[in-house]
Amino acid sequence: MFATYTRQPQEPSMKFKVGQEPFLQKVSKVSGVVPSRTPLTFLYNIHAVLKGNDLTLTASDGDVFLITDIVVEGIEDGSVLVPARPLQELLRELPGEVIELETSQEQHLVVNTARGQFTIPGEDPTRFPSAPQEKPPQKITFSSNDLKDILDQTTFAISHDELRPALTGLLLQFMTEEMRAVATDGHRLVKLIKAKPKSEEEETGEVEVIVPLRTLNLLQRNLDDAESVDIYLAPNRVVFDTAQLVITSKVVEGKFPAYDAVIPQDNPNLLHVDMDPFSAAIKRVSIFANQINRLVVLELTPDSLKISAEDPDSGRKGQEEIEAKYEGEPFSIGYNAHYLLEALRHVPNSAIELQLGSPTSAGILRPREQKEGEDLLMLLMPIRLQ
């Protein structure tokens, strides 16, 4: 997982004072990347480095580094490698007061409070791998809210199949005037096109990366505290930099499939329906669907939409009819209710348009009104009806 790392000279003992609550918040942030199981035991640790009043905390799972800083009252510079879990658990139980932390000659971390002292055995800090220091040359800046929207509308369709690694991340493509975010698991596909943010920096060239889902989940959990995010891109690495933390991640290797080739160019049958009654009816009817394929059938007629499901094994059946506007040839098409509902949950609009070709071809789901500077498309593969 790692190539080599350079052993540094032994750091002197480290000593500083810090408030319990802000320190807990920072430790909790970096602990999010610590793996639950790994043969590389040093990855269970947080690497803490003190220089003056600046304490840098770094954690990694081997592919992703999460780095954050906190201002402390520095007494003596140094570093320590301390297990993340016991440190976080101790900090949670301490009262909200200033605590003093120092390292011992045995490379343990000693936490001193007004009434107690706690020793957490540490490790040689030179065992911890160094995060890449230089940021990639390509830089794009997004507002936190814009990046939240991009991730919310796309990441749900990322595949969890490790046998198809290129699908286990989000494809980010940056072109001259636009950016694209694309995700697919083979059953559904999401393509979001947005106008590329204007930057004061030199114009970014065309570049694309596949960002792992784990990295994106970490990023999503840490966007609430950020106003903007600088994204640095290279063919083998991506860096997300906010005012509070830096996430450095390897990218997914492999070639993302030619997604435009699977998007139908001519789906003449159009279904216009309001989101809330459509979603609610699917939820009710899907209770009666077969629990393996979760099949619900949409029966399309000009003035209404009938939704039905049945489970032949148990004899359960359910159907409901809702108001909708349909333009096209009447026919029935089947979908996995889970995939359909998940797509609907991530459409940022109260009304949708479903573009259909035939009962066996992919359907295209779009918001009836797109956001300014945005084009969102969701593709769903149907289930063949007997």
Residue 4 within any structural domain of the chain? no
Write down the pLDDT at residue 204.
59
Clarify whether residues 228 and 181 are in a common domain: yes
What's the number of domains the chain is made of?
3
Q: Cβ of 116: how many Cβ atoms within 10 Å?
A: 9
Residue 242 within any structural domain of the chain? yes
Mean pLDDT across the stretch 66-73?
Answer: 97
Clarify whether residues 144 and 255 are in a common domain: yes
Write down the pLDDT at residue 199.
59
Mean pLDDT across the stretch 352-357?
Answer: 96
Residue 386 within any structural domain of the chain? no
Share of the chain above pLDDT 70, in %: 95
pLDDT for residue 201 is more than 70: no
pLDDT for residue 2 is more than 60: no
Clarify whether residues 340 and 287 are in a common domain: yes
Q: Which residue has the higher pLDDT, 6 or 81?
A: 81
Write down the pLDDT at residue 12.
52
Clarify whether residues 295 and 325 are in a common domain: yes
Q: Which long-range contacts (CB under 8 A, 24 or more apart) does 157-162 make?
A: 157/183, 157/184, 157/185, 157/188, 157/189, 157/190, 157/343, 157/378, 158/183, 158/184, 158/185, 158/213, 158/216, 159/184, 159/185, 159/186, 160/185, 160/213, 161/185, 161/186
Residue 86 within any structural domain of the chain? yes
Residue 132 within any structural domain of the chain? no
Write down the pLDDT at residue 4.
41
Clarify whether residues 116 and 69 are in a common domain: yes
- Residue-wise pLDDT for 5-30, tens only, equals 444 444 458 999 999 999 999 999 99
Residue 3 within any structural domain of the chain? no
Clarify whether residues 143 and 154 are in a common domain: yes
Mean pLDDT across the stretch 329-346?
Answer: 96
* Listed residues 192, 226, 260: the one ending a domain: 260
Give the model's confidence band at 270: pLDDT under 50 very low, under 70 low, under 90 confident, else very high: very high
Mean pLDDT across the stretch 53-70?
Answer: 96
* Listed residues 245, 260, 275: the one ending a domain: 260
CATH number for the domain spanning 192: value is 3.10.150.10
pLDDT for residue 78 is more than 50: yes
pLDDT for residue 196 is more than 50: yes
Write down the pLDDT at residue 260.
94
Give the model's confidence band at 229: pLDDT under 50 very low, under 70 low, under 90 confident, else very high: very high
Mean pLDDT across the stretch 259-276?
Answer: 94
Write down the pLDDT at residue 234.
87
Clarify whether residues 219 and 310 are in a common domain: no
Q: Which long-range contacts (CB under 8 A, 24 or more apart) does 339-345 make?
A: 339/187, 339/188, 339/294, 339/380, 340/282, 340/296, 340/380, 341/279, 341/282, 341/283, 341/286, 342/156, 343/156, 343/157, 343/188, 343/190, 343/378, 343/380, 344/275, 344/278, 344/279, 344/282, 345/156, 345/279
Share of the chain above pLDDT 90, in %: 78
Mean pLDDT across the stretch 70-93?
Answer: 96
Clarify whether residues 268 and 371 are in a common domain: yes
Q: Which residue has the higher pLDDT, 260 or 3?
A: 260
Give the model's confidence band at 264: pLDDT under 50 very low, under 70 low, under 90 confident, else very high: very high
Q: Sort strands 64-71 and 54-60 into parallel, antiparallel or unpaired.
A: antiparallel
Angstrom distance (rounded) from CA 34 to CA 37: 9
* Listed residues 237, 260, 283: the one ending a domain: 260
Length in residues, the chain: 386
Residue 359 within any structural domain of the chain? yes
Those residues with Cβ within 8 angstroms of residue 204's Cβ, 6 or more apart along the chain or in another chain: 138, 139, 140, 174, 196, 233
Mean pLDDT across the stretch 95-111?
Answer: 94
Write down the pLDDT at residue 332.
95
Give the model's confidence band at 177: pLDDT under 50 very low, under 70 low, under 90 confident, else very high: confident
- Residue-wise pLDDT for 34-43, tens only, equals 998 989 889 9
Clarify whether residues 347 and 292 are in a common domain: yes
Q: State the residue range of the domain holding 238.
A: 138-260
- Residue-wise pLDDT for 112-143, tens only, equals 999 999 999 998 888 899 888 888 888 999 99
pLDDT, mean over the chain: 92
Q: Cβ of 67: how many Cβ atoms within 10 Å?
A: 20
Residue 8 within any structural domain of the chain? no
Clarify whether residues 202 and 306 are in a common domain: no
Write down the pLDDT at residue 303.
80
Cα 127 to the center of its chain, rounded Å: 29
Clarify whether residues 165 and 118 are in a common domain: no
pLDDT for residue 182 is more than 80: yes
Mean pLDDT across the stretch 214-225?
Answer: 93
Clarify whether residues 153 and 178 are in a common domain: yes
